[in-house]
C-alpha cells in the first residue's frame, strides 16, 4: 500500500505566541458583532458529517445569519431563500475550514455573500430605486427602539443599503466591500456617506 504523500500536514496551524489574537479585531468579517460562536468540538462533528451537530449549528447561527440576509435583502422571503442556500453551502464546505475558531466568521461571510449574490440578481439592483418607500422588511423586525432605524435602513436604495450594512453593522472595510459589490473603494465610501445622510434625515423627521 502506498504511503501518504510526503509532507502532508493534518494539524491546523497554532496561533503565534508573541502576537495579539487578530481574530478579534483583524480582517475577519464580523468584528462589530458579538453573536454566538460555534465551538471547536461542534465544528469537528459537522466536518465529519454529523447532521445532528449541524442542526445545533443551525440553532446557534440562524438568528445571526438571518439578520445579515434580511438587512441586505429587505424582503423576508428573499432572506429566507438566502438563508437556506447559506446553510446548505456551510454544510457542504465545512470540511474546508481549517481553523475551527474561524468557523463562525466564515459562516457569516458565506451568508453575506449569498445575500449579495441574490441582491445583485434582483431586476431593480442596477436601478436607482427611489428612497422613502417603506420596505417589506420593516414590518418583519421586532418592535422597540430599533424599529425606526431598521425601517430607515430598509428604505435605502440597494447599493447604499448594502454598503451601510456591510460597513457600519457588519464591520467590513471599503476595500472588501468594493470586491464584494464590484465597485471601487471610492464608490463604496460615497454610497456610505449618502446612506448615512439619508438615515440622519430620516431619524430627525
Partner 1 sequence: MKQTDHAQLLDRLRDLPDEIAPGRDLWPGIERAMLQRPDNAPRRARVLRMSGTRTLVAAATVVALVAAVAILVLRTRDNVPGAPAVPTWTVEMLEGQAPSGGLRTLQPGDVLSTGSTDRLLATTDIGEVIVEPSTNVLLKHVSDELQVLTLNRGEIYARIVAPPRVFVVETPTVTAIDLGCEYRLSVDESGYGRLEVFAGWVALDHNDREWYVPAGAVAAMNGQAGPAAPYFADASPDFKAAADRYAASNSAADLDVMLSAARPFESLTLWHIALGATAEERGSIFDTLSRLGVIPDGYVKEDFVTLRPAAIDWLSAHLQESAWFRPDLFFGSTDDITTTKKKPATPGRMVR
Binding to partner 1 (CB under 8 A): which residues in 68-127?
70, 76, 79-80, 83-84, 87-89, 91-99, 102, 105-106, 109-110, 112-114, 117
* Min separation Cβ 52 and partner 1, Å: 11
Candidate residues 23, 122, 187, 194; the one interacting with partner 1 per rule CB under 8 A: 23
* Min separation Cβ 155 and partner 1, Å: 15
Q: With binding defined as CB under 8 A, does residue 20 bind partner 1?
A: yes
Q: Report yes or no: 181 and 188 within 8 Å, Cβ to Cβ.
A: yes
Return all residues near 47 (Cβ < 8 A) that are at least 6 apart: 94, 95, 97
Q: What sign for the dihedral angle of Cα 131, 135, 138, 139?
A: positive
Q: Residues touching partner 1: how many (CB under 8 A)?
A: 89
Q: With binding defined as CB under 8 A, does residue 63 bind partner 1?
A: yes
Q: Which is nearer to partner 1, 77 or 128 (CB)?
A: 77
Q: Report yes or no: 78 and 68 within 8 Å, Cβ to Cβ.
A: no
Q: Which of residues 162-181 bind partner 1 (CB under 8 A)?
A: 164, 168-169, 173, 175-176, 179-180
Q: Which is nearer to partner 1, 130 or 204 (CB)?
A: 204
- Give the C-alpha distances (Å, rounded to integers) separating 162 from 6, 58, 85, 135, 183: 46, 24, 19, 14, 12
* Min separation Cβ 152 and partner 1, Å: 10
Candidate residues 121, 123, 133, 204; the one interacting with partner 1 per rule CB under 8 A: 204
* Min separation Cβ 188 and partner 1, Å: 13
* Min separation Cβ 118 and partner 1, Å: 12
Q: Report yes or no: 181 and 159 within 8 Å, Cβ to Cβ.
A: yes
Q: Where are the alpha helices (DSSP H) in 101-184?
A: 103-120, 147-154, 158-164, 174-181
Q: Which of residues 32-61 bind partner 1 (CB under 8 A)?
A: 32-35, 46-49, 51, 54-55, 58
Q: Report yes or no: 170 and 32 within 8 Å, Cβ to Cβ.
A: yes
Q: With binding defined as CB under 8 A, does residue 135 bind partner 1?
A: no
Q: Report yes or no: 105 and 23 within 8 Å, Cβ to Cβ.
A: yes
Return all residues near 161 (Cβ < 8 A) that are at least 6 apart: 71, 72, 74, 153, 154, 195
Amino acid at each position: 500500500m502506498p504511503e501518504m504523500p510526503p509532507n502532508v500536514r493534518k494539524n491546523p496551524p497554532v496561533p503565534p505566541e508573541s502576537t495579539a489574537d487578530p481574530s478579534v479585531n483583524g480582517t475577519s468579517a464580523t468584528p462589530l458583532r458579538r453573536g454566538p460562536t460555534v465551538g471547536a468540538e461542534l465544528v469537528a462533528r459537522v466536518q465529519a458529517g454529523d447532521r445532528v451537530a449541524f442542526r445545533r449549528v443551525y440553532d446557534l447561527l440562524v438568528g445571526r445569519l438571518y439578520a445579515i440576509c434580511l438587512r441586505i435583502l429587505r424582503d423576508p422571503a428573499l432572506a429566507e431563500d438566502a438563508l437556506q442556500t447559506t446553510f446548505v453551502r456551510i454544510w457542504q464546505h465545512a470540511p474546508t475550514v481549517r481553523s475551527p475558531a474561524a468557523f463562525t466568521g466564515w459562516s457569516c461571510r458565506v451568508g453575506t455573500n449569498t445575500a449579495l449574490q441574490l441582491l445583485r440578481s434582483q431586476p431593480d439592483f442596477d436601478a436607482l430605486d427611489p428612497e422613502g418607500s417603506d420596505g417589506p422588511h420593516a414590518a418583519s423586525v421586532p418592535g422597540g427602539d430599533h424599529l425606526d432605524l431598521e425601517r430607515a435602513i430598509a428604505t435605502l436604495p440597494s447599493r447604499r443599503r448594502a454598503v451601510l450594512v456591510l460597513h457600519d453593522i457588519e464591520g467590513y472595510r471599503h476595500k472588501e466591500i468594493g470586491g464584494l459589490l464590484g465597485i471601487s473603494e471610492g464608490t463604496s465610501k460615497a454610497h456610505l456617506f449618502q446612506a448615512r445622510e439619508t438615515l440622519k434625515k430620516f431619524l430627525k423627521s
